[in-house]
Structures are given as C-alpha cells and as structure tokens.
Amino acid sequence: MTQDEAFLILKTGANVFLTGEPGAGKTFIINRYVEYLREHEIEHTITASTGIAATHIGGMTIHSWSGIGIKEVLNKYDLDKIATSEYINRRVQKTKVLIIDEISMLRAETLSMVDAVCREIKGNSEPFGGIQVVLVGDFFQLPPIDKKFVEQKQKRFLEEANARFAYESPVWKLLRPVVCYITEQHRQDDAEFLALLLAIRRANVSDAHKKQIKSRFTKRENFPENITKLFSHNLDVDRVNDEMLGKIDEQGVKFNMDSAGSHSLVTSLKKGCLSPEILILKKGAVVMCTKNNPKEHYVNGTLGTVIDFDSYSNNPIIKTRSGRNIMITPMDWSVEENGKIKAKITQVPLRLAWAITVHKSQGMSMDAAVMDLSSVFEYGQGYVALSRVRRLDGLYLLGINDKALEVHPQILEQDIIFTRESEEASKTFGSLSADEIKRMHKNFVLALGGKWKEGKEAKEKNVNSKQDSGSGASRLDQIRVKHANAYRKWTPEEEKELTAQFQSGKSIKNISASSGRQVGGIRSRLVKLGLIKD
C-alpha cells in the first residue's frame, strides 16, 4: 500500500493499524494526518508507548494521557478514580481521534486498560468509547517487556492469559483496524542492503547475506573516528561517552534544561527526551541532533562535531557530516492538549553521540554507525540497529551474535496476516469511486463536529453538501466486517471442525488461510483443546 492510499483510508474515520518497514514513512503519514485534523478543527491526541517515541512525535505517553500511569493492573477502584479525575475526564471527552505510536512496545493488557478508561469516561460501550484509534508501528521492531506475572494477574480485560503483543488484546479484535501496510522505502537506497534487511525480516538469511554482514566487520582501531556506536546496554554507552569527552583537553560548556508546566508531564518529557537535563559539551565533541528542525535542515539523528561556541549566545556550532556549519539553538519539547501547552522543557537539542543504545536509536536515520551486536538479547534489537543506517557502506560491525539476525517467530506468522489484510483493504478502498471516498471524508469530519473545508482534494469534484449517512458509511461498515472474521469467538462447532482439520494433517497456516482466523488465535485454541503444547 502507498502512503497516499493509507492517508485516504485514515480520513474515512476507520480505525487503522499503520505499519511497514523502517523508513516506510509512517511518521510522515501521521504528521500529514494530524495537519489534516487541525485544518478541519477535529480534536485529536498524539501519544506513544514510550517517552522517547512521544518526544519524536510531539505528544505524550499513552500511560500519561489515559491516567493509568505505571499501573500494571486496573481494578474497579482504579477505574473509578481515573474516570472522576477532572483533567483526565476532560481530555478523554474532547478527544475524537487517538493516535498511539510505537504500538509494538505496548503490552496487550495496557491497550485493554486504556480502552476501559475511554469507555468508562465516554459512557460508550464501543471500543475506546467510539474514538477513532490509529495504531502505528512495526511488530518486527522492539517488543514490549515480557512480564508474565503481570499477564497472569491481569485477567479482567484479557481472554488469553499469555497475551503479550498489542494485537492479541481483545480490544484490538473489537476495533477491527484496517491494516495499512506501507511498502514504500524512504530511508535505504542501497538495493543489496535492502535485500539483506528484508531477508532478516522474513527469517530467510542465507550464507550470502551472512557474507555481506561479515564484510562490514572492523576492529576498534580501524573504523572511522567520530561515528556513533550502538550498544545493547546503557552501561556500555555511558562508559564510552564519558571516556571520550574526558579525553578532550578543552573547557566544558554547560547547558541546563529549563521546564514549565505540570510536574508529572515535565517528568515524563524529561524521561523521554534524548538530550540530558545537564548537557556538557566541548570543542571536538561528537554530537547527535535530538530533534527535527526543517528550517535549519537537520533532523533527529543528524551527526556532527562541535567546532565552536557562539560568542554572544554561547550556543554550540556544529559541523555536520555533510560539511555544513549550524548553530544549534535551544528548542522546546512540549505536551499540547486542545491547542494549549500543558508542559514543556527547553534544551539545546544535542546529546553526546560517540555511543547510544539500540533502544534510543529506534526511529532515527543515520548515515553511518559502529555497532556491537554481540550482546543482543531480544528479538528485533539487531534488526532495529541494522536498519538505522541508510547504506551497507555506512555499517561498521564490532561483533554480532545469532540473536541479532532473528525475528520473533510469532510476529513472522502474524505479518503474513497483516500483509493479506492490507492487500484486501487496498482492493476494497480502491474499488470505491472518488465521490464515495470524498463523501466518507466529509461525513467523518461533520460527524465529529469538525468544519469541512473545500481543500485541494475536495475541489477536484464537488461533493453533495448534504451529509449522507448511506453509501460511504455502509461501505466502511462492510470493510470493517471483513476484518471482524479473524477475531470472532469460537463456537463448539468451529472447535470440532478445527480439531478435525488439524488431526487430518492440515497445517495451522492453511487453516488460517481458509478460515480467516489469526495463526496465533488458532494455536492458542489448539493449546486449550489439548492438541498441542504451549
């Protein structure tokens, strides 16, 4: 699916799961959609599963927005307390569109807890109280922290006690999101490197691919200086950065972070901000920009070296890898709600960048990086690290273990389903006329109390000014029904049929293809029926 196709679907009001490979442009589409919502005066909220991801998109964590905070279990008392909180109640009531980024790192039970809060506050039994929900992310990337003891305790909202990934949550099934799997690529332009990343993603790494990886091995004394190093553990990162800064025989310049607004939101912003509260820089320090600044032509991930400090403002001047000199001025990270700034922090958008963790690199694009992947311990870590660089010749490997080339087997199977659903959605929406699509867009804006504005797309052909609850809405319902099939409850007759098919030797994938059910759901049912072991 293309970015434009996904954008058209988002504007219909359908719940959407926006996914794709790193560099496919998921954040670009979301920014485009947010701009569209603002133009049509529709209240929306941008959130993410982690503080780091939230700072990238200018939002807050979903935990903070929903009021669940660090809770891992939500009981009736907690739900009542959250729902009666004036500011949480007000923000949820006003929200018409909820965006959750980095959904791969959100646990299934957390998604269910947020849904419970929204339903309670909205007084609406529809998923998330009727809010349009846009889930964004790539399940091949970093997964949520596995807390089995929490999963066993949290039984109120979950049908499956061992659910981990967000798509396993019952509310995901009720949402019936239209899957928009973006197939474009805007980061890597190296065909061989793209093929390597795709092989890792499909668990199809060959000897030829391993040879490519080995060709990028280097020794510590041989790789170019002042290139960012990626490690899997924080201790390695801090050690390298402190050591390298200490080696520079220059006077350090200190930059303190300023903050304003809600204490809890400020704390959340600080936790997610890649720039430290106290930033000490020296001439010669290798740094990385931690925020996008289109005006100055640098982005989150741009690398450079501090060459001087402005004589008047004392702001650092860096020289980028491309040879440009830029004075880096302080910028804000803020939480905006209903057009008002609730909290903000201000700091020079830089951090020492001799080394960073793989976790903090997610979402960044780099020209080059030195990686030590010999201590990778989680599925997706190696894939995230390798996909940060744009070309194979920008990769310098100190070490790598087998885990770094592995993706989660469950995600591998689930990705087949997501791909199929996206193809079906593309065909279904592609069969609609331009008038039908525009009518759906207009109906959604009006239904949410927004103001329909005849923009560039609407001017191509005038749409009936009367709100039409027929064609557009009914076609959207038909599309949602298609996606509902995979998530319906099992009947005794279906369980009997499943048993017969499985015992006849039919594979789980074939059963999934013929029934439309998810591979994970079929496997869980077979475990419950005692036909396979967990």
DSSP-based three-state secondary structure for 147: coil
Same domain? 170 vs 242: no
Furthest CA-CA distance within the chain = 79
Residue 89: count of CB within 10 angstroms of its CB: 17
Question: Does a structural domain hold residue 193?
Answer: no
Same domain? 135 vs 41: yes
Question: Does a structural domain hold residue 233?
Answer: yes
The pLDDT of residue 143 is 77
Distance of alpha carbon 115 from alpha carbon 106, whole angstroms? 13
**Of 367, 388, 409, which marks where a domain is finished?**
367
Same domain? 298 vs 237: yes
Q: Which residues, in sequence order, are bridge partners of residue 73?
A: none
Q: Which residues, in sequence order, are bridge partners of residue 335?
A: 343
CA angle 28, 476, 450 (to 5 degrees): 60
Question: Does a structural domain hold residue 401?
Answer: no
Please give the C-alpha separations between residue 370 and each of 199, 226, 234, 398, in angstroms, as whole numbers: 21, 10, 16, 7
* Pairing of β 369-373 and β 229-231: parallel
In terms of residues, how long is the chain? Answer: 534
Please give the C-alpha separations between residue 348 and each of 49, 218, 253, 364, 499, in angstroms, as whole numbers: 25, 33, 12, 18, 61
Distance of alpha carbon 33 from alpha carbon 11, whole angstroms? 8
**Of 324, 347, 367, which marks where a domain is finished?**
367
What type of residue is 2? T
The pLDDT of residue 193 is 87
Question: Does a structural domain hold residue 17?
Answer: yes
Q: Can you give the C-alpha Rg of the chain in angstroms?
A: 24
What type of residue is 470? G
Q: Are 20 and 181 in contact (CB under 8 A)?
A: yes
Question: Chain-centre distance of CA 287, in angstroms?
Answer: 25
The pLDDT of residue 16 is 96
Residues in the chain, pLDDT under 70: 51-58, 145-162, 186-189, 225-226, 294, 300-301, 337-339, 455-489, 513-514, 516, 518, 520, 534
Question: Does a structural domain hold residue 414?
Answer: no
Name the percent of the chain in helix, strand, coil, to the closest 5.
45, 20, 35
Same domain? 272 vs 344: yes
Please give the C-alpha separations between residue 131 and each of 292, 310, 412, in angstroms, as whole numbers: 29, 48, 30
CA angle 184, 419, 11 (to 5 degrees): 65
Question: Chain-centre distance of CA 310, in angstroms?
Answer: 37
CA angle 134, 443, 115 (to 5 degrees): 30
Same domain? 47 vs 179: yes
Residue 93: count of CB within 10 angstroms of its CB: 14
Distance of alpha carbon 520 from alpha carbon 418, whole angstroms? 12
What the block records as the tokens of 514 is 């013929």
Distance of alpha carbon 165 from alpha carbon 144, whole angstroms? 7
User: Number of structural domains, the chain?
Assistant: 3
Question: Does a structural domain hold residue 400?
Answer: no
**For residue 23, what is the domain's CATH number?**
3.40.50.300
Query: Which residue blocks in 403-466 are alpha helix, DSSP H?
Result: 409-430, 434-447, 456-459
How does DSSP assign 311-330, residue by residue?
TTT--EEEEETTS-EEE---
Same domain? 22 vs 170: yes
Same domain? 266 vs 134: no
Same domain? 479 vs 509: no
Distance of alpha carbon 328 from alpha carbon 287, whole angstroms? 11
- Stated pTM of the model: 0.68
Same domain? 231 vs 164: no
Closest CA to 140 of 104, 103, 99: 104
What type of residue is 489? K
Same domain? 18 vs 112: yes
Same domain? 265 vs 346: yes
Question: Does a structural domain hold residue 205?
Answer: no
Question: Chain-centre distance of CA 75, in angstroms?
Answer: 28
Same domain? 478 vs 497: no
Domain of 450 in residue numbering reads as 3-184+432-488
The pLDDT of residue 152 is 44
